[in-house]
């Protein structure tokens, strides 16, 4: 599929009417975009020439809205473009829209967007996952060749697994964060969702590299060329949804059949990953979101007695409940006198997780886990409490805490819904992720979502 995939998508400008005839009704059903401007010409030069892509609406693109899925920023138009987006544009790709997300990236269903509803292209009654649900859905529905998301604790990989596409979370710092609305600065990185693994790798190659606007960015160290031989897997992994458990077992069999040695490991720190993640993420969020208070940015109340009243009214009306909970939690864990108990301790857990993973990578080339314990759930699903939902992030947040790269890859369908598995690699070893996922695809190809098609490009 891959060489044709790019060739077909490069027809985007030439076959605009045919594309629109396909895409508009599809988008009506999926609702992946908050801003959709497909009526643009794509440049006909560069490594990504002519390829249309979507950008999650918490990433800045000049003259596009930058709503972050929030009432707060409903009217904000960005005066600048994120570095990674600018690099893709310079390589010939063209932005055709801004995708829906859980407000400020906080959620795993995209149902927490204040500005739109996104459905899973595989089953419109189900969520696309989140927070980059719009990006994964747009990629799966064949509305774009690839889409950018942001991954703070799994926000690219989990919706990718729900929608049956690849989802890459690169090594922290390899892709500039300049232009990415900050939620948890020390954890997050821009990522890619696409039906094509080859294109994902190519896009990553264009985006990565040091950016003078981001002092935490760096040029990835050249990976040590070595073929993946040993893949670590979690010893005695249970408590997955049965369908995911089946897909997981099947994946193990496929990997064995491909000749990989599977090494069962015990990750003692895994149970602490989620609490540590939410402590650090909410602490950073409480500061990062402070600028949205109705004075310079955000909803301005009609009347306020004084600045304090203005801020209170703005944030009360402008933020959704999940955002408020996380800001309050972050404020709580940073209180003076309580930092040792929460924030500092979470940082220690983070270090322990990093060390634990280092030990795994001393013995294995990759670590493989399910991306998420369930497949896409239905809108408004109440079978998990918010607490359980957060616990379900444990496989994904681990990579964010450790700053290492991870790739969610389609691992087949279960009862008509895609299931994703995830490879994690040591920092800067994205190459191993692509290599193993490509091999896996020779046995289990990325599925085509029913009703989606690239036929318009013929």
Partner 1 sequence: MYQTFVGLEIHIHLNTATKVFCGCKAHFGDEPNTNVCPVCMGYPGVLPVLNQHALELAYTVSLALGCQLSHRTLFDRKNYFYPDMPKNYQITQFHEPVGQNGSIEFALADGTTKKVRIHDVHLEEDAGKMIHAGDMTLVDYNRAGYSLLEVVTEPDLASGEETEAFLQAFQRVVRYLGVSDGNMEEGSMKCDTNVSINKAGAGLGTKVEIKNLNSSRFVKKAIEHEQKRQAAVLEAGNKVSQETRLWNENRDVTETMRTKEGGLDYRYFPEPDLPPFVPDASFLKRIQDAQVELPLARKQRLVREFGLSREQADFVTDARFTADFFEQAVRASAASGGSAMANWLMGDVQKELNHFNLTLEACPLTAGRLASLQSLLDAGRIHTKIAKQLLVSIFEEDKDPETLLQEKGLESIATEQQLAPIVESVFSAHPNVVAAVKAGDARQKGFLVGQVMKATGGRAAPDLVNALLAKFLA
Catalog residues that contact partner 1 under the rule CB under 8 A.
58-60, 66, 68, 73, 76, 78-80, 82, 177-182, 185-186, 212-216, 283-284, 286-287, 290-291, 293, 295-297, 307-308, 311, 331, 334-336, 339, 343
Q: How far is the CB of 302 from partner 1 (least distance, A)?
A: 15
Whether 155 is catalytic: yes
10, 70, 78, 155: which one is catalytic?
Answer: 155
Q: How far is the CB of 310 from partner 1 (least distance, A)?
A: 8
10, 131, 176, 457: which one is catalytic?
Answer: 131
Taking the least distance from each CB to partner 1, the nearer of 149 and 164 is 149
Q: How far is the CB of 107 from partner 1 (least distance, A)?
A: 18
Cβ neighbours for 14, distance < 8 A, ≥ 6 positions apart: none
Taking the least distance from each CB to partner 1, the nearer of 38 and 294 is 294
Whether 56 is catalytic: yes
Taking the least distance from each CB to partner 1, the nearer of 92 and 191 is 191
Q: How far is the CB of 101 from partner 1 (least distance, A)?
A: 13
10, 16, 32, 56: which one is catalytic?
Answer: 56
Taking the least distance from each CB to partner 1, the nearer of 336 and 442 is 336
Q: How far is the CB of 83 from partner 1 (least distance, A)?
A: 10
Taking the least distance from each CB to partner 1, the nearer of 251 and 282 is 282
The residues annotated with a catalytic role in the active site are 56, 131, 155
């Amino acid at each position: 599929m891959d060489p044709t995939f790019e060739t077909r998508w490069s027809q985007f400008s030439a076959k605009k009417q045919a594309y629109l005839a396909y895409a508009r009704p599809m988008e009506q059903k999926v609702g992946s975009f908050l801003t959709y401007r497909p009526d643009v010409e794509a440049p006909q030069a560069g490594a990504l020439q002519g390829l249309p892509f979507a950008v999650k609406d918490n990433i800045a693109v000049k003259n596009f809205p930058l709503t972050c899925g929030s009432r707060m920023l409903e009217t904000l138009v960005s005066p600048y473009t994120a570095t990674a987006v600018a690099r893709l544009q310079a390589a010939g790709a063209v932005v055709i829209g801004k995708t829906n997300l859980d407000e400020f990236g906080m959620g795993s269903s995209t149902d927490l967007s204040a500005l739109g509803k996104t459905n899973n292209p595989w089953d419109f009654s189900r969520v696309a996952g989140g927070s980059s649900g719009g990006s994964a859905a747009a990629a799966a529905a064949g509305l774009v060749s690839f889409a950018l998301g942001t991954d703070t604790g799994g926000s690219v990989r989990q919706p990718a697994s729900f929608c049956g596409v690849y989802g890459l979370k690169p090594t922290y710092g390899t892709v500039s964060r300049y232009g990415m609305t900050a939620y948890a600065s020390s954890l997050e990185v821009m990522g890619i969702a696409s039906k094509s693994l080859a294109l994902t790798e190519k896009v990553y190659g264009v985006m990565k590299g040091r950016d003078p606007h981001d002092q935490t960015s760096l040029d990835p160290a050249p990976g040590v060329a070595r073929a993946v031989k040993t893949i670590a897997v979690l010893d005695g992994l249970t408590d997955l949804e049965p369908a995911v458990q089946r897909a997981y077992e099947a994946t193990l069999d496929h990997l064995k059949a491909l000749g990989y040695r599977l090494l069962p490991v015990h990750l003692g720190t895994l149970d602490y990953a989620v609490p540590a993640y939410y402590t650090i993420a909410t602490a950073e969020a409480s500061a990062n979101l402070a600028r949205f208070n109705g004075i310079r940015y955000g909803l301005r109340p009609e009347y306020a007695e004084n600045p304090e009243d203005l801020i209170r009214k703005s944030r009360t009306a402008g933020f959704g409940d999940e955002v408020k909970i996380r800001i309050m939690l972050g404020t709580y864990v940073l209180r003076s006198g309580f930092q040792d108990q929460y924030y500092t301790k979470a940082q220690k857990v983070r270090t322990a997780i990093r060390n634990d993973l280092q030990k795994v990578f001393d013995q294995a080339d990759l670590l493989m886990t399910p991306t998420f314990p369930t497949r896409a759930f239905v809108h408004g699903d109440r079978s998990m409490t918010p607490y359980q939902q957060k616990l379900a992030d444990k496989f994904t947040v681990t990579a964010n805490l450790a700053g290492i790269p991870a790739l969610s890859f389609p691992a087949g369908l279960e009862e008509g819904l895609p299931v994703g598995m995830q490879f994690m690699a040591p920092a800067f070893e994205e190459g191993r992720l692509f290599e193993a996922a490509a091999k896996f695809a020779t046995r289990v190809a990325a599925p085509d979502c029913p009703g989606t098609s690239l036929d318009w490009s013929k």
